[in-house]
Amino acid sequence: MAAESRRAQALQVAVLDDTLTVDLVDGRTVSVPLAWYPRLAHGTPTDRSNWRLIGRGEGIHWADLDEDISVEGLLAGRASGESQSSLDTWLRSRKRAG
């Protein structure tokens, strides 16, 4: 009998001052340091609360921060792969816009 392969899906997201916590459909909760995702870390509480599930819950998108995080990546313990140069450019663009 083949085991059913299911992709983990997010149900709810909470971004606190130092933690990103994602509740999954299967009852698990994953928490990772917010420092893993610098755009979230630099975002305002309003930016952080403006998220939506994408790919039927397989990912999370923050429109105000131009950030996408996959549930699979969270479960694998993968932090953001964004380069410091890219982050610096993004931070400068936010200062100009704000």
> If DSSP codes are grouped into helix, strand and coil, which group holds residue 31?
strand
Q: What are phi and psi of 40, to 5 degrees?
A: -65, -40
The sign of the torsion formed by the CA atoms of 81, 86, 87, 88 equals positive
Angstrom distance (rounded) from CA 15 to CA 18 = 8
The whole-number pLDDT of residue 96 equals 85
Just give the CATH number of 10-97: 3.30.2020.40
For residue 1, the model assigns a pLDDT of 40
Stretch (H or E) spanning 75 = helix 71-76
Single pTM value for the model: 0.89
Q: Which residues of the chain have pLDDT under 50?
A: 1-4
For the chain, give every domain's residue range. Answer: 10-97
